[in-house]
Amino acid sequence: MILITGAAGFIGSALTAYLNEQGLTDLILVDDFSIPAKRPNWIHKRYRYLVERHQLWDWLKAYASELRAIFHIGARTDTFLQDEATFHELNLTYSQKLWMIAAEYQIPFFYASSAATYGDGTLGFSDDEKLLPALKPLNPYARSKHQFDLWVVSQTHTPPRWAGFKFFNVYGPNEYHKGAMSSVAYRGTLQILQENELRLFRSYRPDYRDGEQKRDFIYVKDVVQVLYFFLVGEAPSGIYNLGTGRAESFLTLGEALFRAMGRPARIRFIDMPEAIREKYQYFTQADVRKLRSVGYTQPFHSLSEGVEAYVREYLWPNLRYW
């Protein structure tokens, strides 16, 4: 059995879909399944058990010894929320407890970290674990993820294999419930459909023109292929960046959206909220040399390729789930 936390969420449900496509159905899906907006993400998946998040510990007492692997994808991901206690409970304490069970029962353990742990990016985006103590995340969500990374690399009692993945800007099917935390690709498609234009933030730095702020955008189908590679392979334990290794602009993203929908580009630049101007990242780009060095050779979608596939296969003209 393979256990997936956050299985009703974005990346967790995409991972479930991909594992189903590989013929794996002996899955334990863990989440809060009472949320109606998430129901389409899991209702048609193939699995053995659904386990409510608060019941996981009791379930593990009975079945932990039967698990082949744990994918800990579930987390509180709201970057606007300032409640440190909530993130400490859900992203740190919960993760530590699950890690200790994986170590006790010697279950391979793979978990979601975040590129948000890199803070403003001034220290670069290397996943060399020796650099972890120097990082300065900018919000409570990122700090909780960073605290768990630091805790993990300090442990001497570990699962037999483990990996943490610093997800960069992930977009793709099944993110529709995330609201303001959904990708610009999804929210931009809705804007175009409703208003026939796309709004992007102006730049407040002279070295970046409007729309030329850059991110490492990665299609969720590329993400789950990497996770599967770690499941079936023998890659060394450690923390890995999970991005494409290529920064691309929001303008490129916007133009791809219009192209996928067969419409002329209409992009309008708007003021960035003052509350985030000082903490806004103008550039992110994963250093993926570690991932490549352990044998992962599959190419990643370019931003244009991924966005056009996402729009045409899942968003337009009708919304579809994976």
Question: 159 and 14, same structural domain?
Answer: yes
Q: Which residues contact 36 (CB under 8 A, 6 or more apart)?
A: none
Q: Is the pLDDT of residue 154 over 90?
A: yes
Q: Would residue 130 show up in a list of annotated catalytic residues for this protein?
A: no
Total count of domains within the chain: 2
Q: Is the pLDDT of residue 80 over 60?
A: no
Question: 233 and 255, same structural domain?
Answer: no
Q: Spot the catalytic one: 47, 94, 111, 141.
A: 141
Q: Could you list the residue range(s) of the whole structural domain that residue 311 is in?
A: 176-214+247-284+307-315
Contact call for residues 284 and 136 (beta carbons, < 8 A): no
Number of H helices, E strands in the chain: 12, 13
The token pair that represents 102 in the structure block: 């994986």
Question: 226 and 200, same structural domain?
Answer: no
Tell me, what amino acid is at 38? K
Question: 151 and 86, same structural domain?
Answer: yes
At CA 179, angle to CA 178 and CA 185, rounded to 5? 85
Question: 291 and 269, same structural domain?
Answer: no
Q: Would residue 141 show up in a list of annotated catalytic residues for this protein?
A: yes
Higher-confidence residue of 322 and 279: namely 322
How far are the Cα atoms of 45, 241, 244 from residue 212, in angstroms, in the given order?
Answer: 39, 23, 18
Q: Spot the catalytic one: 63, 105, 178, 204.
A: 178
Host H or E run for residue 164 = strand 162-167
Q: Is the pLDDT of residue 54 over 60?
A: yes
How far are the Cα atoms of 15, 129, 154, 214 from residue 173, in angstroms, in the given order?
Answer: 11, 31, 35, 22
Is residue 74 in a domain?
yes
Question: 70 and 14, same structural domain?
Answer: yes
Is residue 202 in a domain?
yes
Is residue 78 in a domain?
yes
Neighbouring C-beta atoms of residue 248, cutoff 10 Å: 20
In this structure, are strands 214-215 and 217-219 parallel, antiparallel, or unpaired? unpaired
The token pair that represents 317 in the structure block: 């003209």
Question: 103 and 233, same structural domain?
Answer: yes
CATH of the domain at 253: 3.90.25.10
pLDDT, tens digit (0-9, with 9 covering 90-100), for 162-212: 999 999 999 999 999 999 889 999 999 999 999 999 999 999 999 999 999
Question: 223 and 97, same structural domain?
Answer: yes
Is residue 262 in a domain?
yes
Is residue 144 in a domain?
yes
Is residue 321 in a domain?
no
Is residue 257 in a domain?
yes
- Per-residue confidence (pLDDT) for residue 277, from 0 to 100: 86
Question: 295 and 258, same structural domain?
Answer: no
Whether the model pTM is above 0.85: yes
Residue 276's pLDDT band (cuts 50, 70, 90)? confident
Question: 209 and 90, same structural domain?
Answer: no
Question: 240 and 255, same structural domain?
Answer: no
